[in-house]
């Protein structure tokens, strides 16, 4: 299928309005690849007609959500960027016992990050006194995170001991997959949340993981997001970003303490 330039521009504008992310002109092939199945399923003969009907049209909100879901980049896996988990372990060791702990995986994608945090907390603190919240723009990803069923290869970096203690290995039709244990799932909640808009009421957090999402935004949007997210970090708490995402020059009142780790005064 092909996609004309005006139709591509309409997709870019809509996605920017909804997510804050502006797709570069070089992403046209990627957009075609991601949307053509949706267009065929809806019975459209061409992508341009689909864009005219759904993206430009549109009263079809449900279909528009599918378009946004398809355009987000959701790559993630358990214990990605392990330095953050090492820091968290150290910090948990030095923290006074008995205080409730809340951690937010902002842009949680399919949930591997939130469950990795939960495994670490369960290991250090047992199954009491903490909560993990995950939010993501993509409703499909929020649903996947709630299902908590993953291909085993996403757990390559997960400590073997955690795999045994916190996951069920699939058998029969679930061969090659893992399910996060119910005990852990009960401490992790997932909600839809758009970082470019006022967030749902989720309270304040000791640590926020805001990783591998800022790269998609221009500097003004990046600053807006970091400010919105920082407001939900408790004084003395931490913000983790992806190691390829720098907050320098943003002037958002956070202090760098290690690579990709910032403290709120
Ligand atoms: C590459 S994943 C990062 C997952 C995880 N944090 C990690 O580091 O592995 C980026 C996620 O950001 C989400 N996202 C993109 N724009 C967003 C927005 N405006 N608000 C909330 N989430 C957004 C996407 O849906 C996607 O799931």
Farthest-apart Cα atoms in the chain, separation: 62
Q: What is the pLDDT of residue 45?
A: 93
Query: How far does the chain reach from its first CA to its final CA, in angstroms?
Result: 52
Q: What is the pLDDT of residue 246?
A: 82
Q: What is the pLDDT of residue 172?
A: 95
Nearest-angstrom CA–CA distance, 80 and 86: 11
Where do the domains of the chain lie, and which CATH numbers do they carry? 5-71 (1.10.155), 82-264 (3.40.50.150)
Ligand 1 center–CA 143 separation, angstroms: 14
pLDDT by 10-residue block (mean), the chain, 265 residues: 95 93 94 96 95 86 92 95 98 88 98 98 96 97 98 96 97 96 98 95 97 92 94 96 87 89 93
- Bridge partners, 255 (sequence order): 263
Ligand 1 lining (C-beta closer than 6 Å): 19-21, 72-76, 80, 107, 109, 113, 136-138, 141, 193-196, 211-213, 242
Distance of CA 262 to the CA centre of its chain: 19
Say whether 161 is catalytic. Answer: no
Q: What is the pLDDT of residue 1?
A: 85
Count CB neighbours of 3 within 10 A: 22
Instruction: Kindly give the residue spans of alpha helices, DSSP state H, lying in 53-167.
Output: 61-71, 82-94, 112-125, 139-147, 160-166
Mutating to test ligand 1, I would choose from 69, 109, 199, 209 the residue with most ligand atoms within 8 A of its C-beta, which is 109
Q: What is the pLDDT of residue 58?
A: 67
Say whether 154 is catalytic. Answer: no
Per residue in 6-45, pLDDT (tens digit) is 999 999 999 999 999 999 999 999 999 999 999 999 999 9
For 14, residues 6+ apart whose C-beta sits below 8 A from its C-beta are 55, 64, 67
Ligand 1 center–CA 107 separation, angstroms: 4
């Amino acid at each position: 299928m092909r996609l004309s330039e005006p139709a591509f521009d309409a997709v870019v504008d809509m996605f920017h309005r909804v997510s804050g992310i502006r797709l570069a002109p070089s992403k046209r092939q990627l957009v075609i690849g991601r949307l053509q199945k949706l267009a065929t399923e809806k019975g459209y003969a061409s992508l341009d007609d689909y864009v005219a009907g759904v993206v430009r049209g549109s009263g079809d909100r449900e279909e528009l959500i599918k378009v946004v879901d398809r355009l987000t980049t959701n790559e993630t896996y358990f214990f990605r960027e392990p330095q953050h988990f090492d820091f968290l372990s150290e910090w948990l060791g030095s923290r006074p016992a008995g205080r409730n702990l809340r951690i937010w995986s902002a842009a949680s994608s399919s949930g591997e990050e939130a469950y990795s945090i939960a495994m670490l907390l369960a290991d250090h603190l047992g199954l009491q006194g903490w909560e993990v919240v995950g939010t993501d723009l993509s409703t499909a990803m929020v649903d996947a995170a709630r299902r908590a069923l993953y291909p085993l290869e996403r757990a390559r970096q997960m400590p073997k001991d955690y795999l045994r203690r916190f996951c069920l290995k699939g058998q029969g039709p679930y061969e090659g997959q893992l399910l996060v244990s119910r005990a852990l799932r009960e401490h992790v909640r997932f909600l839809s949340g758009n970082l470019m808009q006022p967030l749902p009421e989720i309270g304040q957090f000791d640590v926020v993981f805001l990783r591998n999402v800022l790269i998609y935004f221009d500097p003004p949007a990046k600053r807006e997001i970091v400010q919105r997210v920082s407001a939900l970090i408790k004084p003395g708490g931490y913000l983790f970003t992806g190691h390829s995402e720098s907050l320098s020059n943003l002037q958002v009142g956070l202090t760098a303490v290690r690579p990709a780790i910032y403290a709120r005064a």
